[in-house]
Structure 1
Amino acid sequence: MSIKMKITIALLAFACATFCSAADLSYAESRVVHSEILAADKEIYIHVPESTGYPGRKYPVLYLLHGQWDMLPAVATLDLVAKTVPELMIVGIASDGPELGIESSGDSAFAKFLVEELFTLIENQYPAANYRILSGHSHSGRYVMHQWLTGSLPVNRYFAFSPSLEDGAILSGVESRKAEQLARRKPLVLTMASEGEHMLGPYKKIDAVLEPAMPGRYQAQHFPEETHRSTKHTSLKFALHATFPDWAPSRKVKMAGAEGLRQHFETLSARYGFTALPNVEMLQQVTALYSVSSSKERHAKLTPMFTYALRDLAIAPSKFIEIVDYLDENNYPEASRRYLAALCKVEAGIDSCGAVAPRER
């Protein structure tokens, strides 16, 4: 096994030892909010990513209908795609029955509740970026499709998973709009599980209309191996990767140094309209690999990477001191000293820097 592979495996073990615990599982905050518009209390479920080392970070938000049933599958799916898509907040909304009925105006009371009450509450009280995805499955997927057609909601993207299409209302809405109208709609991801012809038939007709009308803004996928229920995981994984296809930097970019990473995430920020940031654990792994390498060229990339991380991204030095200690404890003493010396060139005030010889700083 190569030294690079050994250090990668070791760092993965380090991550689990640091962040995994035997505490009771808690995947979302549950709270009840009163809606004046609906004249009712609504239960919502809020999942915020664990602290990632960035002060003041804000996350794009996935607003999930049928939250009372679909919250846990959504949080689990995010874990499956961690580091390949941005970290997201999830806001699940307990919703069902008549309130998700579609109306010709697209201006239902439930839509008003989302826009005028829920979005404002979440963005005022939680670290939410002004980037919203509305997602629904089955009956709530039908509601998502309707709101996508009307274009009445201030959201960035729509996900509709195995939406109920059997009554023909959504198909009729798609077919009645001209291609130039559809081209102005927000990006949409549409999926279909192994359903009967009453669902698959309309799906195929909708897909045939939207695929040429919305190049690059519409993605669809039929999952014949998935049931109506099991498609929740597969569809969300597909939708997130379709929405953020180039999120994770390639190995070439990571090994190229700080400037390559900076450009990668600046490009993503401009493309999506929210601040894209590299995963702190990924920066820990990359800098450790630089340090254990036998290449002086890689060693030279350490200080610029720490400048990028500590100065530009405002990551706490303690995140990297963890790697100094880990390298030392796992028989990489030279790499540990090299790592600390480069870190101290950027942040000389670290307590451990007193052990670094002046010629190394």
Structure 2
Amino acid sequence: MLKKIPRLLLILMLLGVHQNSWSQANFKVQIGQIDSLYSEVLQESREIYIQLPESFNPQSDVKYPVAYIIDGDVMLNALHTVHSYYSGGFIPEMILIGISNAENRTRDLTTSELSERREQVYSEENGGAEKFTQFIESELFPFVENNYPATNYRTLIGHSYGGLFTVNTLLKHPDLFANYLAIDPSMDWDDQKLLKESQEILSQKSFNGKSLFVSLGGQLHMADTDITIDNVMKDTTEFTLFARSNIELSNIVNYNKHNGLGFYWKFYPNDLHGTIPLPSIMDGLIEVFSWYQMEDINKFNDPETPKEVLYDIIKRRETKLKAHFGYAVAPYPDFLFNMSGYMSMDMGYPEKALMYFQLNTEYYPDDANTYDSLADYYEAQNDTGNALKNVLKAYELSGSDYHKKRLEQLRAR
């Protein structure tokens, strides 16, 4: 039988292990646009925080995958920081949606209902994760996808109780998201109820195409520094139940590799429960989007690489991205095609330059600048007819004085 934990030590442990209302209220950092919707499911209004990608152009038809983060009023800042540094080369540009859980956090995110915890009455409303999932699926998704340039390729990120909610969503509603980041999840909730359920679910369901990243912070035992990652599983006290539950989840997932779930687990020995979100978001997104990272960069940097080889690399990446996202997406951003085109012109490789510029108009047909750049190429080749044709297209898209003036100059030749 577990020893009863002294009340003062229990309070200190809870402050270290679980987020609480005062910390959320005092440390809010608002990023992006605040929006809200009324939920018939929850019978209340819910705030959300919307951060659009830097490349967003309201005149463009480009749509983006979406990353949803629980506790968005306090967590979106960390997600935005990671996205700002790593989008493009390591992870795709995404719309970031922060869901507020400031008012009824425990109710929204815990996965089963209990009235007693650690031999004490537990009076806070809890166990509403399934209803909160229903709100996300039936109300939040349609709201976001009807009002913002969002696709249905989604990533879910949650910390602590939010991590518990994230694991529950993967196990019971795997098709709602493609990727799941459970940061220091509270898998000890309700005597490890969800953890125990996971054994059967992970052994029987298929999770092909889904990815899960789980992190564990360095607070393995709140009162004994001799407990390490090497011996924590030998401890049987409630002090280590949080950490042991996390490790047990990792073991269960690894035992069921046949289900196709892409799984990544990482221990952060120098991070506390409150500091682990930022590195976990960074590592987690890089891991679950490892397939997105650019390949064969050295061949693009080598001027001797034949045009045909480069073309094949671009087309293979296009095919790969479509297979993962489920819809067609440009293999590289427009500025990269543009830059490669001008560099090829400067180095005396006109055939490569033409390939890059033409591909840019293929992948970004509504961007006036792609046609303007292609016109630069034709003008450099003394092909006024094709230069005029592409500037005309650019002017039709932009209506700008710059393109109008350039059009007049070419016609005057």
| Alignment-derived partner of residue 17 in structure 1 | none
Note if contact 1:193-1:225 (Cα within 8 Å) is conserved in structure 2. yes
State the shift of 1:170 in Å: 3.2
| Alignment-derived partner of residue 99 in structure 1 | 108
What aligned pairs does 1:165-180 form with structure 2 within 5 A after superposition?
Answer: 165-167=187-189, 168-177=192-201, 179-180=203-204
Q: Confirm whether residue 233 of structure 1 aligns to residue 278 of structure 2.
A: yes
Q: Structure 2 length normalisation: TM-score? A: 0.68
Which of 159, 162, 171 is residue 149 of structure 1 equivalent to?
Answer: 171
Q: Confirm whether residue 281 of structure 1 aligns to residue 335 of structure 2.
A: yes
State the shift of 1:46 in Å: 0.9
Name the CA distance, whole Å, in 2 between partners of 1:204 and 1:260.
Answer: 40
State the shift of 1:270 in Å: 1.8
What aligned pairs does 1:1-361 form with structure 2 within 5 A after superposition?
Answer: 27-52=31-56, 55-83=60-88, 84-95=90-101, 96-103=105-112, 108-151=130-173, 154-167=176-189, 168-177=192-201, 179-181=203-205, 186-196=210-220, 197-214=240-257, 217-250=262-295, 251-252=297-298, 254=300, 256=307, 257-277=310-330, 278-293=332-347, 296=348, 298-318=349-369, 338=380, 344=387, 347-349=390-392, 351=403, 352=406
Name the CA distance, whole Å, in 2 between partners of 1:217 and 1:137.
Answer: 19
State the shift of 1:61 in Å: 1.0
- Residues 152 and 245 from structure 1, CA distance in 2 versus in 1: closer, same or farther, beyond 3 angstroms? closer
Letter of the 1:36 partner, please give it.
E
Note if contact 2:32-2:51 (Cα within 8 Å) is conserved in structure 1. yes
Letter of the 1:201 partner, please give it.
R
Give the match's secondary structure for 1:301. helix
Taking only the aligned residue pairs, the percentage that are identical comes to 18
State the shift of 1:120 in Å: 0.8
The structure with the larger Rg is 2
Name the CA distance, whole Å, in 2 between partners of 1:190 and 1:157.
Answer: 11
Residue-pair matches, total: 323
What do the CA deviations read for 1:70-105 (whole angstroms, capped 9, x no partner)? 011111110121212111111111111212121389
| Alignment-derived partner of residue 122 in structure 2 | none
What do the CA deviations read for 1:35-57 (whole angstroms, capped 9, x no partner)? 11111111111111133568211
Q: Structure 1 length normalisation: TM-score? A: 0.77
Note if contact 2:50-2:95 (Cα within 8 Å) is conserved in structure 1. yes
Note if contact 1:141-1:160 (Cα within 8 Å) is conserved in structure 2. yes
| Structure 1 runs not aligned, ≥5 long | 1-24, 326-334
Letter of the 1:48 partner, please give it.
L
Note if contact 2:338-2:356 (Cα within 8 Å) is conserved in structure 1. no
Letter of the 1:187 partner, please give it.
S
Runs of at least 4 residues of structure 1 off by over 6 A? 104-107, 322-325, 339-343, 353-358
| Structure 2 runs not aligned, ≥5 long | 1-28, 114-126, 221-239, 302-306, 395-402
Worse-superposed segment, 186-195 or 47-56: 47-56
- Residues 188 and 339 from structure 1, CA distance in 2 versus in 1: closer, same or farther, beyond 3 angstroms? farther
The alignment's C-alpha RMSD in Å is 3.5
Name the CA distance, whole Å, in 2 between partners of 1:271 and 1:248.
Answer: 12
More RCO (CA 8 Å, sep 6+): 1
Name the CA distance, whole Å, in 2 between partners of 1:230 and 1:324.
Answer: 51
Note if contact 2:163-2:184 (Cα within 8 Å) is conserved in structure 1. yes
- Residues 344 and 194 from structure 1, CA distance in 2 versus in 1: closer, same or farther, beyond 3 angstroms? farther
